[in-house]
Homo-oligomer: A and B are copies of this chain.
Amino acid sequence: MSEIVFDNVWKEYGDQIVLEKISLTIAPRAFVALVGPSGCGKTTFLKMLLGEEAPTQGQITIDGVPLVAEPGPDRGVVFQRYSVFPHLTVLGNVLLGKELRAAPVTARLFGAARRAARDEAMALIAEVGLAGSEDKYPAQLSGGMQQRLALAQALIMRPKVLLLDEPFGALDPGIRADIHVLMKRLWHETELTVVMVTHDMREAFTLGTRVIAFERPRDRPEERERYGALLSRDIDIWPPRIAGAPLSNTPDQDDLVTPLDHGQDDLAPTQGV
């Protein structure tokens, strides 16, 4: 069920300490939103979880087992950019994981195996709302569609952990609201622990079950190198969201956001000027 434990993890690049004494337990099926100022080490934290970077000190375990030191199919990922393959169509992108798993040498599927994988991929593509675009290349999709594609591509591997590094940072508010709905549904329906880095507070609190903030307590230039960021806040959302629990009928505030309906709660504070 994938409980992730960080046990006093430090990360240094050369002389620069990026993260200090991170100790943290992420419950199975949690949706952790990770926030913090630019450069504080959020991406570095994700990279360690991915296995791309090793901690300088301390240990990371998943279900008690030390983390494999390389990215693998148990952990899916979506980045802000470059998450999909520009040379593959939508279908090709989603199929890729299946093909890699099934055919170690050719990395391609044929005949019945391909048809089965294709059906699964098509279902997933429809689920993220890309039905009809199967034969398009990523460059022909909008930013929001590309990120949905990246999600579908990661989810077809049924990873235990899904890591998202500012996946929606480059999107329009309207598109972002759509994708939030999708994200929530997927999290409810799939057996997933999610760790998402975001710059957007609203997003963190809309989606997360838990919001974690990193901060550098000492951030004067001359101190930068000697001190890293710490885990400075850790808030559980209340009342708790529970994965798989039936979606309440009250629509999410975010889903309503369309450019001008926003007015109400934003006009108020600005009237002070």
Residues of chain A whose beta carbon lies under 8 Å from any beta carbon of chain B: 35-38, 142-143, 172-175, 184, 199-202, 205-206, 211, 213, 233, 235, 237-239, 241, 247-248, 250-254, 257, 259-260, 262-263, 265-267, 269-273
Q: Contact at B248–A273, with CB atoms within 8 Å? A: yes
Given contacts A259-B36, A262-B202, contact A251 B270 (CB under 8 A): no
Instruction: Output the residue of A142, A235, A254, A273 with the most chain B CB within 10 A.
Output: A273
Query: Within the assembled complex, what's the spacing in Å between the Cα atoms of A241 and B271?
Result: 9
Which residue from B172, B252, B267 sits with its C-beta under 8 Å from A37? B172
**In angstroms, how far is the closest chain B Cβ from the Cβ of A178?**
12
Q: List 16 A-B contacts (CB under 8 A).
A: A35-B260, A37-B259, A173-B201, A201-B257, A201-B259, A201-B262, A201-B266, A205-B262, A205-B263, A205-B270, A213-B260, A233-B260, A235-B263, A248-B272, A250-B272, A251-B272
Instruction: Output the residue of A35, A201, A235, A241 with the most chain B CB within 10 A.
Output: A201
Residues in B whose Cβ lies below 8 Å from that of A247: 273
Say how many copies of this protein the assembly contains: 2
6 closest Cβ pairs, A-B complex: A253-B269, A250-B272, A201-B262, A205-B266, A206-B270, A202-B266
Instruction: Output the residue of A200, A253, A260 with the most chain B CB within 10 A.
Output: A260
A247 and chain B: residue at smallest CB distance: B273
**In angstroms, how far is the closest chain B Cβ from the Cβ of A141?**
12
Residues in B whose Cβ lies below 8 Å from that of A260: 35, 201, 211, 213, 233, 235
Given contacts A37-B172, A172-B37, A173-B201, contact A250 B273 (CB under 8 A): yes
A202 and chain B: residue at smallest CB distance: B266
Residues in B whose Cβ lies below 8 Å from that of A239: 271
